[in-house]
């Protein structure tokens, strides 16, 4: 059984990712990375006996094992920070900033994005958050509308007044979400971003990375009210987020 752990793990990863895509339309980049890892594990299972015949393979394998153990320890520590970040602040803010997410079929929201908007509606109606709602997300090449347009449509259906909504529809990633929204918020408020209270509405696994990016863009008073990640989505998104945070830091 142990000798087959690589092929079993690789197969589970591929089946899991395909299932998640059917249910929730996972990000294409995440899908490619996960399936590639699963495929490599399966290929390694069938090729490892051949590798053992290669000179110095054992030394190379031991070296890689050491690096892997160190990397795993660092991975666990960073994952702990991602999980442990404060994610729910119910105090009031001047602006709500809702981060977009890739659309399905060119115009439909993913479950993750819908959960974020439900959290925004909750902040407005139950927690009494005032001010403007910035909907941040552009139109990708295959989309019919921008992420901001899709979000606005949903909020209007929930009874949120149109005059409270401001759309930022140029951003293509989280960095641009904060960069372009900063310009809108400063213009609307007449104050520097460091002096404005902004509540970020995103998904819980993104809070640490969003905090880093917000700080780099000069946001001085940031709070989070994050939606939870659905249980079947959590493994892949929390694992990949470790590498996203590392990429952001470096």
| 90 located within any domain | no
What pLDDT digit, counting tens, does each position of 45-61 carry? 888 777 777 777 778 87
What pLDDT digit, counting tens, does each position of 107-148 carry? 989 889 999 999 999 888 777 777 899 999 999 888 899 999
What pLDDT digit, counting tens, does each position of 15-41 carry? 998 888 877 767 777 788 889 989 998
Of the candidates 247, 238, 237, the residue with the CA atom closest to the CA atom of residue 25: 237
What are the two backbone dihedrals, phi and then psi, of residue 198, each rounded to the nearest 5 degrees?
A: -125, 125
> Model confidence at 14, in pLDDT bands (50, 70, 90)?
very high
Tokens in use for 27? 């990000």
Q: Are residues 71 and 102 in the same domain?
A: no
pLDDT recorded at residue 241: 94
Could you list the residue range(s) of the whole structural domain that residue 77 is in?
A: 2-84
What pLDDT digit, counting tens, does each position of 159-212 carry? 999 999 999 999 999 999 999 999 999 999 999 999 999 999 999 999 999 999
Given 49, 84, 119, the domain boundary residue is 84
Residue 67 has pLDDT above 70, yes or no: yes
User: Tokens 């153990």 — which residue?
Assistant: 69
User: Measured between alpha carbons, how far is 167 from 69 in angstroms, rounded to an integer?
Assistant: 45
Q: Are residues 37 and 112 in the same domain?
A: no
Q: What is the pTM of this model?
A: 0.87
Work out the number of other CB atoms within 10 angstroms of the CB of residue 154.
Answer: 18
pLDDT recorded at residue 87: 93
> Model confidence at 2, in pLDDT bands (50, 70, 90)?
low
Instruction: Give 22-89 as a DSSP string.
Output: HHH---HHHHHHHHHHHHHHHHHHHHHHHHHTSTTHHHHHHHHHHHHHHHHHHHHHHHHHHHHS--B-
| 89 located within any domain | no
Work out the number of other CB atoms within 10 angstroms of the CB of residue 20.
Answer: 20
Q: Helix 234-249 crosses helix 5-24 at what angle (to 10 degrees)? A: 100
Q: What is the mean pLDDT of residues 147-162?
A: 95
| 123 located within any domain | yes
Q: Are residues 242 and 137 in the same domain?
A: yes
Q: Are residues 56 and 114 in the same domain?
A: no
Work out the number of other CB atoms within 10 angstroms of the CB of residue 75.
Answer: 15
The CATH number assigned to the domain holding 185 equals: 3.40.50.620
What are the two backbone dihedrals, phi and then psi, of residue 167, each rounded to the nearest 5 degrees?
A: -100, 130
Q: Are residues 70 and 129 in the same domain?
A: no
Domain count, the chain: 2
């Amino acid at each position: 059984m142990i000798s087959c752990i690589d092929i079993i793990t690789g197969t589970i990863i591929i089946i899991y990712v395909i299932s998640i895509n059917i249910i929730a339309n996972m990000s294409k980049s995440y899908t490619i990375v996960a399936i590639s890892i699963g495929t490599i594990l399966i290929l390694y299972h069938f090729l490892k006996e051949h590798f053992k015949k290669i000179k110095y393979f054992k030394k190379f394998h031991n070296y890689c094992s050491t690096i892997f153990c160190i990397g795993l320890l660092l991975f666990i520590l960073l994952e702990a920070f991602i999980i442990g970040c404060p994610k729910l602040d119910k105090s009031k803010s001047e602006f709500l900033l809702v981060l977009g997410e890739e659309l399905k079929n060119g115009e439909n929201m993913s479950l993750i994005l819908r959960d974020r908007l439900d959290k925004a509606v909750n902040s407005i109606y139950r927690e009494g958050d005032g001010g403007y709602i910035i909907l941040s997300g552009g139109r990708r090449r295959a989309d019919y509308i921008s992420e901001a347009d899709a979000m606005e449509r949903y909020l209007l259906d929930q009874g949120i007044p149109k005059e409270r909504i401001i759309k930022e529809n140029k951003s293509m990633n989280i960095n641009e979400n904060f960069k372009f929204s900063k310009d809108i918020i400063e213009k609307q408020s007449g104050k520097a971003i460091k002096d404005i209270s902004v509540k970020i509405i995103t998904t819980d696994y993104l809070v640490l990375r969003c905090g880093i990016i917000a700080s780099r863009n000069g946001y001085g008073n940031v709070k989070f009210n994050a939606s939870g990640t659905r249980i079947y989505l959590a493994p892949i998104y929390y694992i990949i987020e470790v590498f996203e945070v590392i990429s952001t830091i470096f």
